[in-house]
Structure 1
Amino acid sequence: MLYDRDIREPLFDFLEERYGKIRIIEEKQMGKSRADIVMVLPDAVAGIEIKSDADTYVRLQRQVRDYNRYYDTNLVVVGSTHARHIKDHVPAWWGILTAEKLGGTMDFYTLREPGPNPKVDMKRKLGLLWRPELAHIQELNQMPKYREKSKAFVIDKILLKVPQEILTLQISEELFQRDYTTIEEKITEYRKQKKHNL
């Protein structure tokens, strides 16, 4: 019987070996669900759901809907008890990995490669970024600062101005550079500047 905690750490090693340059963000809120893992790649952001042997499919339909809104590509990682039926519960473009413990090591097998997600919503994907990260994308693209405007307004303006192929790379770079130790002071500084400009 494999649990989430048994799968997680070996999975990170497997993903790094397979994809090279990645950044892992755990437990990311997305709509009404939470992504177990967000994997940042240089040219994409992938959502990863873990369904251990102890999990059921009860929430999966809603989770799939939310993953499809936010990420360029999606993967589900399952324990062997789910391996036979998981294809019936996720869209055809979702990748499927199975996890199996052999001796003392965890092995992962690719049941299906992930494809591009046709339902990704760039507005929601941009919404994963914090306001200072959006401000940096505005700066990179020589856009006005719009400090007094809402986050939603700024996202709409970025989507109008920046071609999607460039924006995809810039979003990944912001997530690679994200520093959880300094973000509070960056947000405070951003808010001070916003008030100063009002």
Structure 2
Amino acid sequence: MLYDKDIREPLFDFLEAYYGKIRILEEKQMGRSRADIVMVLPSSVVGIEIKSDADTYARLQRQVKDYNQYFDYNYVVAGSSHAMHIEEHVPEWWGIITVEQVDGEADFYILRKPKENPGVSQKKKLSLLWRPELAHIQELNRLPKYRQRSKQFVMEKILLSVPGDILREQVSQELFERDYTRIEEIIREYKKR
């Protein structure tokens, strides 16, 4: 039986070998759920839900709804106890990775590749960014600073002004560059300006 803790680190290695350049963010709040893993690719953001052998499907319906709003693509990583039925519990555009224990190691197999999520909300995805990251996107696109305006207002202006394909890459770039060790300093600097 594989638990979440047995899956995570080997999964990161598997994803890096499969995709190349990635950044992993763990336990990201989105709506009423928490994404187990957010995988940042050069031009998209991927939500990954882990269903280990010890998990149930009790919260999965709500989680799927939240993931579908925030991420360009989604995966479920299912332990072997879920492998036969996981397709019944996630939309057809979700990718499925199965994991089982082979010779004491987690072994991964892509059962189904993800398709682009038709329900992603670019506004919800933008909300994953911190205010200084949004300010950098404003600067890159020569938008007014809107310093006294709310985060929601700024996101609306970005969505109206920046073409979708450019914005996708810029959001990914901001998440690639995110520095959790400097967040307090970055926010303090942003507020001073």
Aligned position for 2:115: 115
Q: Give, in whole Å, the separation in 2 of the partners of 1:40 and 1:64.
A: 18
1:49 aligns with 2:56: no
**Identity among equivalent pairs (%):** 71
Instruction: Find the counterpart in structure 2 of residue 155 from structure 1.
Output: 155
Aligned residues: 193
| Shift >3 Å, 4+ stretches | none
Provide the C-alpha distance between the structure 2 equivalents of 1:181 and 1:107, rounded to a whole number of angstroms.
32
Q: Distance in 2 between matches of 1:118 and 1:167?
A: 17
**Counterpart for residue 106 of structure 1:** 106
- What CA deviation, in whole Å up to 9, does each residue of 1:21-47 have, x standing for no partner? 000000000000000000000010000
In structure 1, distance between residues paired with 2:146 and 2:111:
46
Q: Find the aligned partners of 2:111 and 2:176 in 1 and give their Cα distance.
A: 28
After TM superposition, give the deviation of residue 129 of structure 1 in Å: 0.3
Deviation at 1:58, TM superposition (A): 0.3
| 1:132-171 Cα shifts (integer Å, max 9, x gaps) | 0000000000000000000000000000000000000000
Gapped regions of structure 2 (runs ≥ 5): none
Alignment of 1:1-198 (within 5 A): 1-193=1-193
Aligned-residue offset at 1:84 = 0.6
SS of residue in 2 equivalent to 1:143: coil
Letter in 1 for 2:107: D
Q: Over aligned residue pairs, what C-alpha RMSD do you find?
A: 0.5
Moved more, 126-135 or 106-115: 106-115
Scaled by the length of structure 2, the TM-score of the pair is 0.99
**TM-score normalised to structure 1 length:** 0.96
**What CA distance in whole angstroms lies between the structure 2 residues aligned with 1:107 and 1:53?**
14
